[in-house]
Structure 1
């Protein structure tokens, strides 16, 4: 039971003001990642039998992505963002590198020296979890997330090309029991639920913690927070990124906040914590994703947004005008949401002049059958199910 699936999908809008580029995304729970052109046609696709929950393009033309969640590890069973491995796929979808760890989750970064930064869960000692404030211990009525003896924390790990650990940064040691309090509507299965890992221009780590509605910069050398932002000003946010002007862009989901829940994308000046730019819709509730989602500032000044819960990607100008819009037509089944859905963790847009694309065979004719299915004039979500 639920609302009708008979709604237009695929490309909804494309204008001259849109940044000329290709969009990369993977439906949550699927085994593939799609690259779209500006007309919404699939022009390249990667496939992995272990699943592709989320991927990023590397300079060598390969796709670095994380696989589906493990099903046999009680500590992380049905915990959002979990993955069994990080794999690197060449343009023909061959696995050329991999790193396996059932505690992997959410995000990763390939460094210039060839090393890889990873975000992982860790089991917190009872003497730490006993001091963590907030949250509740009730079972979620929507889905079973299982139980675990330990509360989960987060850590950042750097590995070399052979998978050897170079260094780890446990997040719990840098947190404050008084300041980093779990939202009272969230389960105490996790303390912070880190959902994003980015790198500043100085090599420090820009992190996001959903359970405490906080983002912060963790010093690579010190292991301490150099800056934190949240404290009632964010609502279970995702995907903070550093901009060229030194500000930070973040998708503020707006969940569990005072007043009407709605999402927004904000640009923050970390020097004074002022919000320099906001994208909201009118009425505000028209733009809302309770979880996941992302936002990227494009080279032409536009902002590319993934409203993840609905599978909507769109691009806005600095004035807030929508100049490109696409609705994900592909449905898949995820471990947590065990029914067909169109959810997308993140989506990214890359300029068409990026040298990466010279290494890929970009051919919409190769995917003509798929593209014909979701022509915006006749496609609806119930016409497509691609695992």
Structure 2
């Protein structure tokens, strides 16, 4: 059995039995241990859903790996996030991804994990397997820069939805803010529709006291949307609930602790969960239970048709510091995965580190991160701030785990100096047949060593 270990000076390949004797020199800016496992640490091909995994690493590149952690392809650029394009949307062409093509010049103070200078995204575009640009959008945007962040969607008609930022004043606001906007862009680059979050503050469920805090927020990134997806076909809509129309858009606000669905035809919020939910106790009851307070959540989306749990909302509940006012952090808390029935607003399935036999804090990412339901019923999780990806069964058994070896400079986090990190904003499972024919992959089982 072979593990990989990463230091800032070199990448060494060591056997697991050498863990107790090896020490690598540490960089003065390194915040993590000088020796830690990277690559695949465990893998059961019989229980796992097997696929490629796509992600942008902290090294500023986009990586496609197989289940044994082998890099099968790399794109020079990164995305916020990089995602694959379904071949059915691009004349059956395989290997196309969307990512960031260029950044706004400047020293940058908001570099984002897993994406080069995410809040300075000058140009978004699609590239093929070789990295050739097929379509780009940036100079056509208001202000001449795309400023895309956190999410995007390729549409069936060849258009694109972008989640982006605008610096603007909002009604009742004390000062200009970094507002979240959605652009609907035609195939020719024409801007067809714009939605601005700051024009809908009275639809997000704030109390008058909370709204006053929002309007006077010290942080200009006052809502910080980190997710934007179309709902897609679903049984709620087929059964007559118009709030869940397939072209409606789901978003979530990290800073304000709410998830919302927007009707693009009216611009109105037609469904919402949060920001004010019952407080979470020290331990959640057994599902199903009424959804309680999520905090700083990421990647809320409707589970797609054909997957177990289809129609439910799946979300990574970071339990980081967020809210108006901010919710207190739990002393011995951790992050959660929540699967929520959007009609009853009941949690029908959840995951914490305890479901895998660990302490609550054994699974924790206070920011970034993502979650996906897989065709076999497993769930794929990106514990973003630790660069740890893992796949669990419905009961919480970990059947695949990978730690990103790709490090890079992280933004200053209050210490006044840069640090090194392997964090990853979001990951995506990719079917084998999405890649060009002949792209290799392996599925060799790997058993983690038992603790002494």
TM-score w.r.t. structure 1 length? 0.81
Match of 2:394 in 1: 318
- Find the aligned partners of 1:21 and 1:279 in 2 and give their Cα distance: 22
2:70 matched to 1:70? Answer: no
Structure-2 change in CA distance of 1:197 and 1:336 (3 Å): farther
Match of 2:195 in 1: 169
Identify the residue that residue 212 of structure 1 maps to in structure 2: 256
> Partners of 1:70 and 1:263 in 2: how far apart?
34
Give, in angstroms, the shift of residue 103 of structure 1: 2.6
Q: Could you say if the C-alpha distance between residues 350 and 42 of structure 1 is closer, same or farther in structure 2, counting changes exceeding 3 Å? A: same
Please identify which structure carries the higher strand content. Answer: 1
| Alignment map for 1:20-169 (pairs within 5 Å) | 20-28=50-58, 30-48=59-77, 51-58=78-85, 59=87, 60=93, 61-67=95-101, 70-72=104-106, 77-78=109-110, 80=112, 81-82=118-119, 83-100=121-138, 101-125=145-169, 127-130=171-174, 150-169=176-195
Q: Distance in 2 between matches of 1:64 and 1:33?
A: 10
Match of 1:369 in 2: none
**Bigger radius of gyration:** 2
* Superposition CA RMSD, Å: 2.6
In 2, distance between residues paired with 1:215 and 1:68?
Answer: 30
Q: Are residues 1:199 and 2:230 paired?
A: yes
Query: CA 1:93–1:335 in structure 2 vs 1: closer, same or farther (change >3 Å)?
Result: farther
Tell me by how many angstroms 1:66 deviates. Answer: 2.6
The whole-number CA distance in structure 1 between the counterparts of 2:316 and 2:437 is 30
The alpha-carbon deviation at position 340 of structure 1 amounts to 2.3
- Go from structure 1 to structure 2 and tell me whether the alpha carbon gap of 1:376 and 1:317 turns closer, same or farther (over 3 Å shift): closer
Which residue is 2:286 aligned to?
none
CA distances 1:174-219 after superposition (whole Å, capped 9, x unpaired) = 22283465689x8421221111111012210100111101111011
Q: Can you give the 5+ residue segments of structure 2 that lack an aligned partner in the other structure?
A: 1-27, 88-92, 113-117, 139-144, 233-245, 278-292, 322-326
Flag structure 1 segments of 5+ consecutive residues without an equivalent: 131-148, 366-374, 378-387
The structure, 1 or 2, with the larger RCO (C-alpha pairs under 8 Å, 6+ apart) is: 1
CA contact (8 A) 2:81 2:425 kept: yes
Alpha-carbon deviation of 1:162? 2.1
- Aligned positions of 1:192-271 closer than 5 A: 192-201=223-232, 202-230=246-274, 231-232=276-277, 233-243=293-303, 244=305, 245-256=310-321, 257-258=327-328, 259-260=330-331, 261-271=333-343
- After superposition, the Cα gap between the structure-2 partners of 1:361 and 1:345, relative to the gap in structure 1 and judged at 3 Å, is farther
